[in-house]
Chain A
Amino acid sequence: MIESAVDIVQQPKSARLHVGRQSERNEVESSVLKTCKRAKRVCLYLVLVLGAVVVALPFCWMVSTSLMTLGETINRQWLPGTPRWQNYQTAWTEARFAVYFLNSVIITVTSLAGLLTTSILAAYAFARLQFAAREVIFFGLLSTMMIPEAMTLLPSFLVIRGDVIPLPGGSWLNTLQGLTVPFMASAFSIFLLRQFFKRLPVELWDAACIDGCGHLRFLTTVVLPLSKAPLLTVSLFGFIASWDALLWPLLVTTRETWRPLMVGLWSLVTEAGPETQLFMAGATITLLPILVIYFLVQRQFTEGIMTSGLKG
């Protein structure tokens, strides 16, 4: 959507450039101007390439280190002599990544399912339904975005431990619900989806209403298929939030059963000591799933943020 807006803004400019180019042809200095323009473009590309190199370098460092021997990481070459793929295997088995990886997948999928359900319903209600205190509730939810996690951690921990309110099954420490329920709603996702839902034409609902369609059916059959980009954005953010969680799992898992990947990586880092190549291999493993997903959805993703990051 932004893309097309950008195109509209840009059109007159490119058209102008075109006209300018034609008249330049008649001028003697046109070649000078052209080289000047080319030099400028080279400069712009240099800036972009420099930025990309700074972004990419740590990733290259990570992959190259993960394939080295311990000696090579200390004597530091830029590339390993012969790539040691067995480092990945060592990290995988030594840090019990097989268990942690599966745990992380289950935890992430569960929280994501919950997150999408609650956010879609709430966003639809805030965008389309009239009910008392709607705005108050909405901004109340939004205000929680300003609160650092470190501040809510302690009381949330007590809630999960069952100290504050009675929970079904007593304490939720070391359980799947304890790890996932706090991640099952986010003000940011609701905000992002609401921005999008608000922009869908009202006529859609009017038509559905005449056909005798209820809100829930309208939402699932009309609104959701139209909202792929924001849904992908919300999903990726939700995925990252649960995949990347370190503190919360560290607190609520005292036993190994439900420990996720990030806690595994963290203990690998603290226990592997000088064996840099092992925790680099571990970091690569934890990073790969998100990398793959990001490449698949990145286009809709950045657009989803651009359209909703602005204009509350």
Chain B
Amino acid sequence: MPTRVLRLPEAIGRRLRRREAREHLIGYLFTAPAVAVIALFGLFPLGYAFYMSFYAWRVRQGPFRGLRNYGKALGEPQGILIFAGAVALLMLAVWVWRRARRAGAGRRLPGLLAAAALLVAAGAAAVTGWGRMLETGDVKFLNALPVTIYYALGSIPLQLAIALALACVLFQHLRGSAFFRMVFFLPYVMPTVATATVFRSIFSSRDTSMANQFLALLGLEPQQWLAESRPILEILFGWQLPDYWGGPSLALVSIILFGVWTFVGYNVVIFLAGLGSISGALYEAAELDGANRWDVFRHITFPLLSPVTFYLALIDFIGALKAFNHIFVMRSPLAQGTVNTASMVIFDTFYLANQYGYAAAQVVLLFLMILGVTYAQNRVFGRSVIYD
């Protein structure tokens, strides 16, 4: 643009430049209202939370506390350092493993062994560090981490798989598929508070609740559902596993089921858009080569959908972290905090306990965690995404 302007006669150039300046001005004017609101209620709060996290702040600002709010959440520095060391070891293990896979056949084995050893060391350090942190830190806050991970790992793969299957069926263009698409999308647009209220009754601990009647139909014992704090593996198989190995509590599983019910429809619609953008020529070529349906799915549809899957996994992960309203409505004191994700704990610290400064420190820690996980997800899965 600028080079062309220079070659034009002086008067026209000036007018063009004036128009360009006007366009800058209009651009800023048009974006200003949106930027102001989002900056004030979306970005500024993060910076302000960072500032608040260094103060004692109960409703009103108190004295400077330095890092003590963070210490209260995470416990003694020793534990944190050991845990951070575990994370570093894990990253090192991934790096060594990647290099070993690329190395020649002769040097591959020692590299893989080294990676395995590093992995074991990382695991041991993580367990020790985490144990220390639990002893000295805020158990409520720290337990939110496994709960959040369970929630994300429990809901994301499930809803992706169901949505992909439904989208593939809808894409066959059977009569009435537009109707089914609309129905599947319904839970996503309904007010969460209302639908969560309904699920509160479906998963209630009464013998006559819908979930228990369903179990009775299968000839199974009624369960406590949302009021059940025991982990799922203990209920299913009677295994008494230590720490977090028993899996999410049945209460959290109920909430995960609600989440899947809600979000599958959105994933279906996005998958459908992705399926529509795959070139039909590829399918024809595959048919000419005599590929069967599974081959076509395995070697064409799935790889070419990977950008969509990756996008959805990211969106669903963010959704899992954002999950609030339905957990807030569905949680029961009987679940003993086994359904409290990070968002819930932060809200409780702020709203119920009125510890603003401490809640702000938790916000900052959650933000760092989101950054870390998004980065890791990009590094690990971003490479296996195939763009056509």
Contacts and interface: CB of A to CB of B under 8 A. Distances in A.
B44 A155 contact: yes
Nearest to B186: A55
Interface string A266-293: 1001000000100110111011001100
B35 interface: yes
A52 B26 CA distance: 48
Interface centre among B169, B199, B274 (most CB of A within 10 A): B169
Interface string B29-43: 011011111101111
A158 B41 CA distance: 11
A243 B40 CA distance: 22
Interface stretch (A24-32, A145-153, A222-230): A145-153
A48 B198 contact: no
A149 B41 CA distance: 10
A56 B182 CA distance: 12
A186 B278 CA distance: 31
Interface string A247-265: 1001100000000001001
Interface string B258-270: 0001000110011
B191 A287 contact: yes
Contacts of A302: 181-182, 185, 269
A10 B42 contact: no
A47 B347 contact: no
A152 B45 contact: yes
A294 to B, nearest CB: 5
Interface in B173-223: 173-174, 176-178, 180-187, 189-195, 197-202, 206, 208-210, 213
A184 B280 contact: no
A223 to B, nearest CB: 12
Contacts of A283: 194-195, 197-198
Interface in B305-363: 308, 311, 318, 321-322, 324-325, 328-329, 342-344, 346-347, 350-351, 356, 359-360, 363
Interface in B120-148: none
Contact of A5 (B43, B49, B277): B277
Contact of A140 (B43, B199, B276): B43
A126 B31 contact: yes
B198 A9 contact: no
Contact of B169 (A2, A48, A187): A48
A10 B280 contact: yes
A54 B266 CA distance: 16
B37 A187 contact: no
Most chain A CB inside 10 Å of its own CB: which residue of B49, B165, B198, B206? B198
A200 interface: no
A74 B189 contact: no
B198 A266 contact: no
B334 to A, nearest CB: 15
Contacts of B273: 2, 305-307, 309-310
B255 interface: no
Nearest to A66: B198
Contacts of A56: 183
Nearest to A265: B193
Contact of B34 (A141, A159, A286, A306): A141
Interface residues of A, number: 101
Given A56-B183, A122-B30, A149 B324 contact: yes
A124 B23 CA distance: 12
Contacts of A186: 38
Interface in A18-53: 41, 44-45, 47-48, 51-52
B374 interface: yes
B261 A309 contact: no
Nearest to B280: A9
Nearest to A74: B208
A151 B366 contact: yes
Nearest to B48: A155
25 contacts: A6-B276, A52-B180, A52-B183, A55-B187, A55-B265, A58-B195, A131-B24, A141-B35, A148-B343, A148-B370, A150-B346, A153-B350, A155-B44, A159-B41, A185-B36, A187-B38, A247-B325, A250-B351, A265-B193, A269-B200, A283-B198, A284-B194, A290-B190, A305-B270, A306-B269
The 4 residue pairs across chains A and B that have the minimum distance between CB atoms: A131-B27, A76-B208, A155-B45, A144-B42
Interface of A: 2, 5-6, 8-13, 16, 41, 44-45, 47-48, 51-52, 54-59, 61-62, 65, 74-76, 117-119, 121-122, 124-126, 129-132, 134, 137, 140-141, 144-156, 158-159, 164, 181-182, 184-187, 190, 215, 236, 240, 243-244, 246-247, 250-251, 262, 265-266, 269, 276, 279-280, 282-284, 286-287, 290-291, 294, 298-299, 301-302, 305-307, 309-310
Given A185-B36, A302-B269, 20 more contacts: A9-B279, A9-B280, A12-B284, A51-B184, A118-B37, A122-B30, A122-B34, A129-B30, A131-B27, A137-B31, A141-B35, A151-B346, A152-B42, A244-B191, A246-B193, A246-B328, A262-B193, A269-B200, A309-B269, A310-B277
